[in-house]
Copies of this chain bind each other. A is one copy, B any other.
Amino acid sequence: MADPLADAVRAGDPRAVARAISLVEDGGAAGATVLAALSGAVGRAHRIGITGPPGVGKSTLLAALGQRWRAAGRRVGIVAVDPTSPFTGGALLGDRVRMGALYGDPGVFIRSLASRGALGGVSAGTHDAADVLDAAGFDPVVVETVGVGQGEVAVAAVADTVVVVVAPGHGDGVQAMKGGLLETADLLVVNQADREGAEGLAAELRAAIELRERGRRPDVLLTTASEGRGVAELAAAIDAHRRDLAAAGGLGARRAERALARVRDEVDRRRARAFWTARAGDLARLVAEVVDGRMTVAAAADRLDDVRPPEPPRS
Interface residue tally of chain A, by bracket?
35 or more
Indicate if A148 sits at the interface (CB-CB under 8 A): yes
Contact partners of A274 in chain B: CB under 8 A: 311
Indicate if A291 sits at the interface (CB-CB under 8 A): yes
Contact partners of A245 in chain B: CB under 8 A: none
Contact partners of A313 in chain B: CB under 8 A: 278
* Stretch from A100-108, A174-182, A221-229 forming part of the interface with B: A174-182
* Stretch from A11-19, A195-203, A232-240, A294-302 forming part of the interface with B: A294-302
| Interface members, chain A 169-187 (any B CB < 8 Å) | 170-173, 175-180
| Min CB–CB distance A57 → chain B (angstroms) | 10
Interface of A is mostly: helix
A267 and B287 CA atoms in complex are apart in Å by 13
Query: Contact check: which of B90, B116, B176 meets A84 at CB < 8 Å?
Result: B176
Known: A53-B54, A263-B301. 19 other contacts (CB 8 A): A53-B55, A54-B148, A84-B173, A90-B177, A115-B149, A115-B150, A118-B150, A124-B297, A256-B287, A260-B283, A263-B283, A263-B286, A263-B287, A263-B290, A266-B301, A267-B301, A278-B311, A278-B313, A282-B314
Contact partners of A286 in chain B: CB under 8 A: 263
- Please, what's the 1-or-0 string for A32-68, where 1 marks a CB less than 8 Å from any CB in chain B? 1001100111110000000001110000000000000
